[in-house]
Amino acid sequence: MNLDKIVFVKRNTELEELLIRHSTTSQARFYLEKAGHSFDSYSTAHHSYKKALKRTIDYVPGNLRKQIIDKSQLSTFQFGNKDLIIVIGDDGLFVNVAKYIGQQPVISVNPDEERFDGVLASCTVNSFPQIFNNTIEGKSQLQHLTMAEAKLDDGQIIRALNDLFIGRKTHVSARYEISQGNKQEKQSSSGIIVSTGTGSTGWMTSLATTSRTNLNVPFTKDSDYLLFAVREPFPSRITGTTITYGKVGKNLPLVIKSNMPEDGVIFGDGVEKDYLEFNSGRTATIQPSQNKVYLVR
């Protein structure tokens, strides 16, 4: 592998997040125990993660360039094209990293098998040395994960590894015009979900089950298409319910024109703070992204 540096991505533990809010360990303990929670469980999880983080970082030889960044730095950090990215955390951290990288290979390390499912993990801490060595030697297998992409008519783009939400910040109805191929209609709904194969085991499967659509979920993570579903479409004199679910492909994008005067948003992977404004006058084109995530397996 033609390598420039190793970039480790970590996150704060729940205990560290509490200490940010409460300043001291004693205050954090008081807050938790007053609410009927065990401080020891937070402490145990914290030390388990820190131990796994240190073991993973320490294994990488000292002659290789290393850089450690926190989840909070992702939106401003510039990953190099020749970086090897090592994510130490749960699946959610890996999903957060995915939207900020290009074609760099990613090793996702599950630091705590008792607490994290590790569905998207490349390895555990114990098996990391084997996976790391194989990757450096160019012997590792890469799984190409498809991402969803929303591009506005002003050039702004947002991508997601699991799913995109198009709708309103609040719980009031989202209004828009939806079109695909030669079909189009105005709609009023609770929003639109667009899912990748990676995310299809979650929100999309739930929608398919409760709305009794004919969506074939879950589907494979490297599929060259996405699936969309409209949440609770409302029929009226000017709004329809005929375009409610289906496939989205490179040659069959989903085009949505916002009719929302305010609070219209598009966000990915459940991160509501990271969104594109999608108010009246804006048009979004949804399709599979050319960017894929290269997960080491």
- pLDDT tens digits, residue range 36-53? 889 999 999 999 999 999
pLDDT of 199 strictly over 90: yes
Instruction: Lowest mean pLDDT of 104-113, 140-149, 164-173, name the range.
Output: 164-173
One domain, residues 247 and 279: yes
User: DSSP assignment of 50-119, as one string?
Assistant: HHHHHHHHHHS-TTS-EEEEEGGGTTT----TTEEEEEES-HHHHHHHHTT--S-EEEEEES-TTT---T
Look at residues 140, 167, 184 and tell me which one is the last residue of a structural domain.
Answer: 140
Question: What is the average pLDDT across 71-79?
Answer: 94
Question: What is the average pLDDT across 159-172?
Answer: 94
Question: What is the average pLDDT across 263-290?
Answer: 95
CB 150 within 8 A of CB 192: no
For 19, 31, 48, 160, 174, the CA distances from 44, given in Å and listed in that order, are 15, 17, 6, 32, 44
Amino acid, res. 25: T
One domain, residues 102 and 170: no
pLDDT of 88 strictly over 90: yes
For 107, 121, 253, the CA distances from 133, given in Å and listed in that order, are 11, 16, 40
pLDDT of residue 171: 78
Which among 220, 210, 65, 73 is positioned nearest to 144, based on CA atoms? Answer: 220
Look at residues 140, 166, 192 and tell me which one is the last residue of a structural domain.
Answer: 140
Task: Tell me how far apart the alpha carbons of residues 296 and 289 are, in angstroms, rounded to a whole number.
Answer: 20
Phi-psi region of 191 (alpha: psi -120 to 50; beta: other; left: phi over 0): left
Question: What is the average pLDDT across 233-252?
Answer: 96
- The pLDDT-based confidence of 208 (bands split at 50, 70, 90) is confident
Task: Tell me how far apart the alpha carbons of residues 192 and 150 are, in angstroms, rounded to a whole number.
Answer: 12
Is 100 domain-assigned?
Answer: yes
Beta strands 174-180 and 275-277 are unpaired
One domain, residues 153 and 218: yes
Q: What is the pLDDT of residues 244-260, one digit of tens each?
A: 999 999 999 999 999 99
pLDDT of residue 31: 87
Which among 174, 178, 194, 185 is positioned nearest to 262, based on CA atoms? Answer: 174
pTM given for the model: 0.90
- The pLDDT-based confidence of 295 (bands split at 50, 70, 90) is very high
pLDDT of 82 strictly over 90: yes
Look at residues 140, 158, 188 and tell me which one is the last residue of a structural domain.
Answer: 140
More confident residue, 35 or 49: 49
One domain, residues 263 and 169: yes
pLDDT of residue 293: 97
Beta strands 264-268 and 163-168 are antiparallel
One domain, residues 41 and 105: yes
pLDDT of 64 strictly over 80: yes
**Domains: count for the chain:** 2
pLDDT of residue 207: 86
For 65, 74, 76, 168, 226, the CA distances from 103, given in Å and listed in that order, are 19, 16, 18, 32, 20
Average pLDDT, the chain: 95
Torsions phi, psi of 23, nearest 5?
75, -50
Is 297 domain-assigned?
Answer: no
N-term to C-term CA, the chain? 16
Is 57 domain-assigned?
Answer: yes
Count of all residues that appear for the chain in the document: 297
pLDDT of 183 strictly over 80: yes
Task: Tell me how far apart the alpha carbons of residues 43 and 129 are, in angstroms, rounded to a whole number.
Answer: 27
Is 295 domain-assigned?
Answer: no
Which domain range does residue 52 map to?
A: 5-140
One domain, residues 124 and 20: yes
Question: What is the average pLDDT across 228-254?
Answer: 96
One domain, residues 42 and 82: yes
One domain, residues 90 and 204: no
CB 166 within 8 A of CB 192: yes
pLDDT of 56 strictly over 90: yes
Is 125 domain-assigned?
Answer: yes
pLDDT of 271 strictly over 80: yes
Q: What is the pLDDT of residues 2-24, one digit of tens each?
A: 899 999 999 999 999 999 999 89
Is 232 domain-assigned?
Answer: yes
Is 296 domain-assigned?
Answer: no
Task: Tell me how far apart the alpha carbons of residues 148 and 286 are, in angstroms, rounded to a whole number.
Answer: 7
pLDDT of 213 strictly over 80: no
